[in-house]
Structure 1
Amino acid sequence: MSPYVLLALAIVAEVTGTVSLKYADGFTRLVPSVIVAVAYGTAFYLLSLVLKAGMSVGVVYAIWSAIGVALVAVIGALFLGERMNLTMIAGLVLVVGGVVLLELGGQQH
């Protein structure tokens, strides 16, 4: 499987775990707590496969964290009643833009 597909799956798993944290209520609710543990375990396992496939750890982590942050922020704003304003959107654009630059720089030899 493509490292980028594995990375996308790792991001989905991490976002699932992070959103589930909201519902785990300090790990006092069983089902969301189990989802958190399984999702994070899956995310890290998939990340290990991405790194094993030869992708650079800096680029992998940058993509994983930036897209994860952006997705969690958007999910929070759309579905969890969290606020989002233009300053926050600009910050997310800058984070994702920085990751794109890291990826482009990593492709130059």
Structure 2
Amino acid sequence: MAWLFLIIGGLFEIGFTISLKYSENFSRLWPSLSFVICITASFFFLNKAINSGLPIGTAYAVWTGIGAAGTAIAGMLIFKEPAAAWRIFFLVMLIGSIAGLKLVSEGH
């Protein structure tokens, strides 16, 4: 269950970064409200994952990695940021590192 909490938290992290972009420096109400909801939910689920037994270092690294990779992918798809080969290569490496942390976490 801890890993599910962590994945949900990571998805909310992607949500708060996208909301941050759309909020235009918190000048738009709905994206700003979405940011507050997503960041609160993201930290809530990170906390649930840690309190469900995941080591804090692993949990934080995976949570951040999900958010970073997801936000970079969303940037390419939604905001038309560059999708250069090296950028995709390093995103694949990041996702592989996240999967590796899951594989080496004992008992989780």
Identity, in percent, stands at 30
> How high is the TM-score relative to the length of structure 1?
0.88
Equivalent residue for 2:67?
68
Equivalent residue for 2:106?
107
Q: Distance in 1 between matches of 2:102 and 2:3?
A: 12
Structure 1 unaligned regions, length at least 5: none
Give the deviation of 1:107 after TM superposition. 2.4
What are the superposed Cα offsets for residues 16-46 of structure 1, whole Å, 9 maximum, x if unpaired?
A: 1110111100011111011111100110011
Q: What code does the residue aligned with 2:70 have?
A: L
Give the deviation of 1:102 after TM superposition. 3.0
C-alpha change, 1:12 and 1:101, in structure 2 (3 Å) is: closer
Q: Distance in 1 between matches of 2:16 and 2:27?
A: 15
Kindly report the root-mean-square deviation, in angstroms, between the aligned alpha carbons of the 2 structures. Answer: 1.5
Structure 2 unaligned regions, length at least 5: none
Q: Distance in 2 between matches of 1:12 and 1:103?
A: 16
Q: Distance in 1 between matches of 2:93 and 2:66?
A: 12
> How high is the TM-score relative to the length of structure 2?
0.89
Corresponding pairs, count:
107
Alignment of 1:29-108 (within 5 A): 29-107=28-106
Q: Distance in 2 between matches of 1:70 and 1:99?
A: 10
Equivalent residue for 1:26?
25
Q: Distance in 1 between matches of 2:98 and 2:11?
A: 17
Report if aligned partners of 1:59, 1:99 keep a CA contact under 8 Å in 2.
no
Report if aligned partners of 2:11, 2:66 keep a CA contact under 8 Å in 1.
no
Give the deviation of 1:69 after TM superposition. 1.2
Give the deviation of 1:68 after TM superposition. 1.5
Deviation beyond 6 Å, 4+ runs, structure 1: none
Give the deviation of 1:98 after TM superposition. 2.4
